[in-house]
Every structure is written in C-alpha cells, then in structure tokens.
Amino acid sequence: MTDERSPPSALRGRLADVFVPALVSGSVDALSRRLGNRATIDDPLYGRASSLASIAPLLARVATYFADGKATYEHVCSTTGVDRDASEGRLAMTIGGETRLLPIAIVAERRRLREIELRVYYNVVAAEGRKPRSPLLAACAETPLASLIETVVESLRHGALERALAGFEEAARIVDPAGRIHVNADGTLGAYLSELGDLDLKVAGAADDGRTACVEGTIVRRGKGPGPALFAFQRGDSGLVRELRIYWE
C-alpha cells in the first residue's frame, strides 16, 4: 500500500521515501504531479509552499540547489505511523567548496480531507533573508509515546542526564544535525547531551513502528528560539536506544 493521493506520476512508494530521491534526480515534474493540489511543503532553505503555483517553483529551487552541489542520496530508515511517515537519509554534496555529509529527514503528515504536509529537516545555512521556520503546533491531545521514549524525552526536558543515559545501550550513539557522531562508550554522548542543557520539547506527533520512534515537535534549546525538530530513536535488541538521530536547523 502507498499513500498516493494525487494524479498518477512515475514515482511509486511512500511520499516521504520518494521526495528527496526525486529532487536529487531532477524529477521535479513527476514529484509535482505526485503532490497534487492538497500538499504543503516546508523546507528549511526555501520556506513554505501550499499551492500548485508555489510548490513547483520551490521544488525547482531545491532540485537546482542539489544539482549545483552534485548531491547524492543514501536512504537510512523509514518509519510508518498512524498519521505520519518519516524517511531518513544522508545527502553527500558540495557546499561552499567543501564536501559535506548531511543527515536529512522528511516527515509526511496526513491530515483531514486528504491533505498532506511534508516537512524537510536538514542542517543548512538558510538563504539570505530567510526567516526561521514557524514552530509546530503542539498536539491537541497528548501524543502517546512508548514508556522508554517518554522517559528519555522527559529526562532531556529537565536536564536529568543520568536518567536519560539509562535509556541508552552501552554501545549507543547520537548522530547530531551536522552528522557528527557522539558515542556512549567513550563519554561523548553524555557530553553532547550535557552541552545541550534542558530541552523544552513540545511534542506535535510521532511515528513508531516498534523499532524506530520518530518524535516531532517544537524545541527550545540553549541560546536558540523555538523551532521544529525531529528525534529518531532507534531501539536495539535490548529494547534500549541504540541510536538517536537528531534533526533541526
């Protein structure tokens, strides 16, 4: 089954999964047809678009940005939830003359009346004049999270570092928004969480398939204003967190 909601296009598969590959390959027309007239795009570089007249130009700008950077894409993980799907990967591209490996994630949220909103997460320097993205609305009702994930999230909210670390495997690691890796075994994972300080995270929704829990919401961190963020908790065989991938601007 796929979540197709628009006129036929050559793109098959879940929208969250095909979005970045289509842009990297320059398949803008096919992606525009797939999105149809009930989609909204929220991109960290080029802002929001919610009509056919504005979506196509936005997609073209992103595709050009990827082409100029000679971007390639590697898929990492897909997570399917009740009202949203998440797809994670890595972009290899040239930015400012330097080759970078950027974590990137797409959340496709299904809404009423067959509307869908796609939010793109990757850590880039925003275009000149680009305003910070608007915070996500907190869920009207409390979003249920699995006990382990809820414990880690609550611990991070209150800066309870030891309690948060208890939810991670000994060999766990964090991949931060810039793609840097922080490992539990050598203490760099704990140091990274400690540097973040208390995180005010207001959960807007989640997708959890039992292996990976993608928690999306608005975050306020030290020295920064509120903005959207995505936390992908990948569980290990022990049931504890084996890897946490974080996405924000």
CATH topology of domain 15-122: Nuclear Transport Factor 2; Chain: A, (3.10.450)
Domain boundaries, the chain: 15-122, 147-247
Q: Given this model, what pLDDT does residue 138 score?
A: 53
The reply to whether 15-122 and 147-247 are identical in fold is: yes
Q: Exposed, middle or buried: residue 173 (CB in 10 Å: 0-12, 13-18, 19+)?
A: buried
- 62-80 residue pLDDT tens: 999 999 999 999 999 999 9
Two structure tokens written together for 97? 């003359």
Q: Is the pLDDT of residue 37 over 90?
A: no
- 154-205 residue pLDDT tens: 998 888 999 999 999 999 999 999 999 999 999 999 999 998 877 888 899 9
- 40-52 residue pLDDT tens: 999 988 888 988 7
Q: Is the pLDDT of residue 57 over 60?
A: yes
Q: Is the pLDDT of residue 127 over 60?
A: no
Q: Given this model, what pLDDT does residue 142 score?
A: 63
Q: CA 22: distance to chain centroid?
A: 17
Q: What are the residues facing 244 on neighbouring strands?
A: 174, 233
Q: Which CATH architecture has domain 147-247?
A: Roll (3.10)
Q: Given this model, what pLDDT does residue 31 score?
A: 94
